[in-house]
Amino acid sequence: MGISGVFPQSVFTILGFTITNTVVHTWVIVAVLVGLGIWANKRFKVWEPESWQLLIEYLIEYVDNLVKDQCGRSVPEIVPYLTVMITFIAISNLAGLFPLMQAPTRDINTTVALSLVSLLSTQYFGIRRRGVGGWLHSYIEPNPVMLPMNLLGMFSRVLSMALRLFGNVISGEVISAVFFMLVPLLSPIPMNLLGMLTSVLQALVFTVLTLVFILDAMGPEPADDQPVAAT
């Protein structure tokens, strides 16, 4: 893999916008996930579920347990979002193992976009739980002088999450390419297995960080006699 292979390549242009191979591969992954979602939605069974349904239910239960481990309670409204996030990032990381595909997360633009989505979702769930007033007040806690630091910390999360995901994916591909050049017959299988493991772990790390930030934005669970802010 030459150095040019690290950067996204232009494929075609639509209405003056350049479409790169990263965008095309992302479209393919999104189309596959949406298609599978529509297919699975029509085939879910209450009794005697098939293996693929059990796998989906296990993933949802796993994410729900992650939430419970972090805050000690179930937060059903964020479980579907986090399940989609960990699924999309894991598949995007693994896409490079398939012929004619590249991992969209090897492009810094993709990881920045994912980090921005994480940031926006954090604000959304914070407003939904606390209301606009409570959400704005959280930026001056515990003291108004902390406002600049809280804002800086919020945007530093975006940068650190984007660079962490991008760095791990691209470094994994570079290391695999180097090993393949050195030991072409023996390296593909163990390196692919290691790549699969790290790809899933990076998706988990990104999702857990998003979960932590969402729970922080939502604040403590309101008391039973205090109404939750209207959405």
Residue-wise pLDDT tens digits, 40-63? 888 888 788 888 889 999 999 999
Residue 101 sits at φ, ψ, to 5 deg, of -115, 155
Contact 230, 135 (CB under 8 A): no
Q: Whole-prediction pTM value?
A: 0.84
C-alpha span between 95 and 192 (Å, rounded): 12
Q: Kindly state the helix (H) or strand (E) to which residue 209 belongs, with its residue range.
A: helix 188-218
pLDDT confidence of 185, banded at 50, 70, 90?
Answer: low
At 150, is the secondary structure helix, strand, or coil? helix
- pLDDT-derived band at 16, boundaries 50, 70, 90: confident
- What confidence score (pLDDT) does residue 125 get? 93
**Which span out of 20-24, 29-33, 138-142, 182-186 was modeled with the highest average pLDDT?**
29-33
3 pLDDT band, cuts 50/70/90, is very low
Helix (H, G, I), strand (E, B) or coil at 207: helix
pLDDT digits (tens, 9 = 90+) for 66-100: 999 988 888 889 999 999 999 999 999 988 888 78
- Residues 6+ away with beta carbon under 8 Å from 22: 8, 102, 104, 106, 107, 109, 110
Give the chain's mean pLDDT. 83
Domain boundaries defined on the chain: 3-218
Q: Which of 15-19, 82-86, 138-142 has the highest mean pLDDT?
A: 82-86
Report the pLDDT value the prediction gives residue 222, as an integer from 0 to 100.
59
| Chain segment 106-131, per-residue pLDDT in tens | 889 999 999 999 999 999 999 998 88
Higher local confidence (pLDDT), 84 or 168:
84
pLDDT at 17 over 80: no
**The pLDDT of residue 230:** 46
